[in-house]
Amino acid sequence: MKKKLAFAIIMAIFTTGIVTFAAISVNIGFTQNFIKIWLKSWGISYIVAIPSILIIAPKVQSLVDFLFKETDKKIT
């Protein structure tokens, strides 16, 4: 569980930072308050992302395993 939590924390830092930066820069541009707005949005997104990653990641991994089950058998 420690490994999954560490993954969620690190992944959330990068993904939420990049996505909120891109979305805010496109939607409001680089205004005088850009950094303040971005950091606030990043913080909210980060809090939402960690539990989302912990809940969704195992389901996505199962889906990917299912989708590539036939491919894996052919390669080995």
Which pLDDT tens digit goes with each residue over 21-61? 999 999 999 999 999 999 999 999 999 999 988 899 889 99
Whole-model pTM? 0.72
Structure tokens at 69: 């089950």
Q: How far is CA 16 from the centre of its chain?
A: 6
Q: How confident is residue 69, by pLDDT bands cut at 50, 70 and 90?
A: confident
d(CA 27, CA 5): 32
The answer to whether 9 and 49 have CB atoms below 8 angstroms apart is no
| Structural domain containing residue 30 | 2-75
Q: How many domains does the chain have?
A: 1
Residue with tokens 């308050």: 33
Supply angle C-alpha 36, 37, 39, rounded to 5.
65
